[in-house]
Structure formats: structure tokens, C-alpha cells
Structure 1
Amino acid sequence: MARWRALPAGIDPAVAALVAHLRKAKDFSGLSIKQLGSATGYSTSSWERYLSGRALPPPAAVRSLAEVVGADPVRLLALLDAAVNARRSGPFEPESHSEPAVPSEPTPPSEPVPPSKPVLPPEPTTPEATAAGDDRPDTGVDGDRHHLAGWRQLGLLGCGMVVGAVMVLLLVQPTQVAAARSVSGTTAVAVPEATAFACSYTRQGGRWYAGNSETRTHQLVVDMTGPAVAELQCLLQRAGITPGGIDGNFGPLTESAVIQAQKKFHLDVDGQVGPSTWAALRG
């Protein structure tokens, strides 16, 4: 595994979190930066900038990386979204390769500031008032009432904008909720809801399959999610080792189950899943 240079001093924690996950995914793929560039369609120099924190990758590059290494693209894209938001006011912007930058989440409107003279609809008039003309003086009570009416209208407008923004978020991202931690504090980013998986065991060509993934080579490590992880959990369960549930999430319980399986099958014990562990569990 390559030794990485330290990130630049003062780098935003959200950007540091993204770079750390990209490096981790690249390391466990076993690919060099040049090989990664060939596999994803992005140049070696581009990946050197992305993995050093000097530039943010476009979403297409993140999806290509996830596909090549078997990582969860939703999590990486959520980290990219947080990094883009963190750098929006700084000198860096994500590089674009024929794909638009990641859209930012709509921000609630700021507190409305009342105008000096609220514009109000004209009061209804009666035929008598129209004929005689309304030359009544504007009293202080009427002025206060008009002023308060203007405030109420602006307040209702602001509430409507907030509700509209919330509805847009619910429609655009129905499978995401805010919950992730950055390096130095807590930064809200979007992560996917839990997906239900099931184990449907079949035996083909002398190997066991559980119906979630047919991979025999994907490198799986802690914090990865997806169908391949659910397949791993089903195979661990078939081997008589409890993975802590079939939820597609490679958490501490699944890692502990992998270690037990590697000891049982006399493999190198590292808590990570590679070709040898897949072969033992499918055999």
C-alpha cells in the first residue's frame, strides 16, 4: 500500500474526508494511479490532483472509481457534495469533464427585512365612498395596522419559501438523510437509507451464491455498503458465522465475522475480503 503525502495545511475537513475515502478506495483496489486513470478514463495527472486534495473530482470520476473498485458510489458522491459546499466560497472548484458540478442543497431564506413602506392591496370601496371621495386623514392607528399587515405578509412569504425548499429536498433526494461526521467536527451530508436484502442460496458450478452478487474478486473493507456486502453476509451466515444481520453494511460485526471465517478456513487474518476469502465462502 502506497504511503501518501500529508494533505496541505488548512485544508477543509470536508475535503480531507473526501480525499481520505478516495485514497482508501484506490489502495484496496491494488491499482496504481496510472492503472486507475486507464480504468476510469481520467488522466494520471487528474487523479494525482484529486488524491492530493489540490482539486475536487467531477461526479463522473467518482462514479467511475466506485465502479472499478467495487465501492458504494452514493457515499462517495455524498462526501463530494459536502466538499463542494465547503469550497464554494474558496479558490477551488471541482473540475468539470462534460458534466455539471454537483448541485448544492437549497438554503433557507434569511430573515425578511420589512420595507419602509409595505405595498398593500387597495381597500374595497363602496359606491358612496367613490362618489363622495375619501379624504379622511391617515391616523396613526391605521398606519400601524398597515405596517403589521406588511410584516405578516412577508412572514407568510418566508415560511412558504422554507416549506417549498423542504419539499424540493424530499422530492429530489427521497432516499437520503443527513448524518455523517467530518474530520474535526460534525458535517451534515447525505447518505442512503438502509436497503433490505435477502439470502436465496443456490449452488452453481460447485460454488454457493446467495442472490445478491456473483462477485468473486471485489475487495471489501469496513464501511463499504451495497449488494456485494449483503452477499458476503449471507455466505458468512451459511458458514455458521453470524455477521450481525443482512443489511449490506460492512460494519464492526461483519468485520468480526470475516475474521472468524478467515481463522476457520486457515486464511490470512486481516478482516478484509478478497479473492481467497470469497473462494473459501463460496466453496
Structure 2
Amino acid sequence: MPRSRTLPAELDPSARQLVARLRRLKEHSELTMRQLAAKTGYSAKSWERYLGGTSLPPREAVESLAWITGTDPVPLLALHEIAVDARDSRRARPGTQVQDQDQDQVQDQNQVQDQNQVQDQELVPDQDERRERDRELPAGPSAHPQPALRHLPHLALAAGVAALAVALLAALLLVVRLDDDATTAAVTVPPRTTVASPPPVYTCRITRTDGRWSAGINKGLDTEIGYGATGADVAEAQCLLRRAGISPGGIDGMFGPLTLRAVKTFQQRAGLVVDGMVGPRSWKALRG
């Protein structure tokens, strides 16, 4: 991927930082897209999307790129986790808007019901008064309590419906507020960070004892190692490759692409089978 290609403007800052670091690892390893696909198991088109910022790479792809380039994967995986959290938070926001719309609809319906109830309350006394006038009941002590008793069921029903509407509205407001608080908390939670132990430091102390070269790291062992191996045996081989005039990259104890290329160059120069594995014959030639 060319370096001049800019990342999308809408890309999240954490995802932008992750993609930038993945780009640097790819450029430093000098791997083509096809070689990157062959070593990681993800297609070249997928890596074009990952490194172009149009698609967030899976966790396994990030870890694979770190291992094949000889890089500590822990900081990259921490950045990937932050980017995933930010992406999930953005996806959760439209749901809150839908709840707000539903709340507005419920409030409108409650307002219409309250207006109808008020109208019913205003009409009931008028109908009762008309009935009383039509009947022309005589005024007396027993004639006055009857209209008041007939009004009580209507007033009680209206009051109960109004109280129910207020309770429903309060419950909806509480649910929406809790959802807003949960969404805000999900966005503002500080990213989880993982403290990675510092990688070991290896120092080449080239000596020659009994006609054999040694870097003084793995105590003269000739353990067979290959691509992806780590530890003191790899650091020993890297020191001996450097003594032979072939650069394996850094003396970091990680059998990555640069070390693999150095081993194959040494094997070809020494007339050995060029398989990229440091076995008994390659160790013997290195220590020769």
C-alpha cells in the first residue's frame, strides 16, 4: 500500500493510531500484500481494507502481523480493544434516538387522552342538569344528593386514568434516562491497558573456544530452531549470523522475516540446504 494514501476522515482516533502502526510494521518488514496474506491467512484484499482504514482488522490479524514482524503484540492488541469499544459505542447510539421518538409518541397519546377525559368531565354535568330539568323534580332535602352521587364514579375513573398516565410517563422517562447514563458510561470508560513485561536484552559476547565460535547466550547448545521461534537460541544464532557478516536485524531473540532471510543467505553461502531452519549442520557452519 502506498504511504501517500490518506486514512478516512471519519476514522476513530484509536483506530487511526492502530492502522498507522500496522502500516509501519508492514513497510518495515518489506512484505508484499500477497506475502502478507500467505503468512497470516487473511487475503490481500482484506489487508488492503485493514491498512486503508475502511475496515477494522480482527484481533487475530493484528496478532499475526505482530508475530511475523518480530513485534510485541500486547500494545497493538490494547489499541485494537479500544478501537472495538469505540466502534460498538457508535453503533449503540441510534437505539437511543429510537427510544426518544417512542417516548414523544407516548407523550402525545397521553396528552390526547387527558384532553378527551377533560371534555368528558365537562360534558357529564351538563347532561345531568338537562335530565334534572326535564324531569322537573321537586326541590327537597332528598333531591340534592342524587346528582353528586352520580358524579362520583366518573370523577374517580378520570382521576385513576390520569394517575396511571402520569405513572407510565414517569416510568418511560426513568428508562430513557438510565439508557442515556449507560450509553455515556460506555463511552467514557477509560480504556483497559495491559502492562507488558519488557523483552529480554541479549548481548553478543563473541568468543572462540576449542575451534568453535560462541556468543555466550545459550551455553553452546545446538537446538533446532525455525521461523517463529523465540528465546536465547535465536539470539545466539543472530549473533553468529552477524559475526559471519550477515545482518539478521536486531538481536532480539525473535525468529522473524529478517532473521529468516539472513539464515537462508548464510545457508546458500555455506553450500547447505536452503530451508531457513537452523539445524545441526547450520549450527556447525555458524560455529565453524
TM range (shorter): 0.3 to 0.5
Say which structure is richer in helix. Answer: 2
| TM-score, length of structure 2 as denominator length | 0.40
**Rg (Cα) greater in structure:** 2
